[in-house]
Amino acid sequence: METETRYCRICRIEIPKERVEALPDTLVCVKCSEKMGGENEVIITVVATGKPGSLKKTGQEVMVKVKPRELKWVQRIPRQK
Ligand SMILES: [Zn+2]
């Protein structure tokens, strides 16, 4: 599959193909992502699990939620034609 060339929404440099492949929704380069503290917020919750109807908790389940950070401030930059 051919990966499209994508440019960072903030600094306009080309985002490395490897990053676009790993994060198909990414809009920024690694550096800008780091600057904003990560493009996505990752929320990890550990929940105890057990058999239905049983109060005994026998296992643990990790729930990972990925919430994209607000990119509104990025969109204020006019697009280059
Ligand atoms: Zn950038």
- For residue 58, the number of C-alpha atoms closer than 13 Å in the C-beta half-sphere is 7
pTM of the complete model: 0.49
Model confidence at 44, in pLDDT bands (50, 70, 90)? confident
CA distances to 38, 40, 61 from 75, in Å: 17, 16, 37
**Which residues have CB atoms below 5 A from the ion given as ligand 1?**
8, 10-11, 29, 32
Contact 39, 23 (CB under 8 A): yes
pLDDT digits 0-9 by tens, 21-36? 888 888 899 899 888 8
**Residue 20 CA, ligand 1 centroid: distance in Å:** 13
Alpha-carbon torsion, ordered 42, 33, 19, 7, to 10 deg: 140
Distance from C-alpha of 64 to C-alpha of 79, rounded to nearest angstrom: 33
